[in-house]
Amino acid sequence: MGAGRSDTAQVGEPPKYDLDLGTTKKQFTRKIREKVLKGLYPAEDRYEEQMVRDFKASSLGVKEFLDTWTR
């Protein structure tokens, strides 16, 4: 390591995370939709209600349906 260079956070400095919020949001959204389709969560808006109707009309499994379903 070079003199004076530190890869760790200094006192009072927030930690640095390599976090992609867009990817995390997509993962959470997908998990929530899976639970809505399984009946664990209620459909809360008209888009989720339409998604449930489309899922029931299809012969696909939850994951296969979510791979093809678009809002």
The tens place of each residue's pLDDT in the chain, 71 residues long, gives 455 555 666 788 877 777 777 888 888 899 999 999 999 999 999 999 999 999 999 999 999 999 998 77
Give the per-residue pLDDT at 61. 95
Give the per-residue pLDDT at 24. 82
**Domain ranges for the chain:** 43-71
Give the per-residue pLDDT at 27. 85
Cβ atoms of 50 and 69 closer than 8 Å? no
Phi, psi of 47 (to 5 degrees): -70, -40
Q: Is the pTM of this model over 0.75?
A: no
Give the per-residue pLDDT at 3. 57
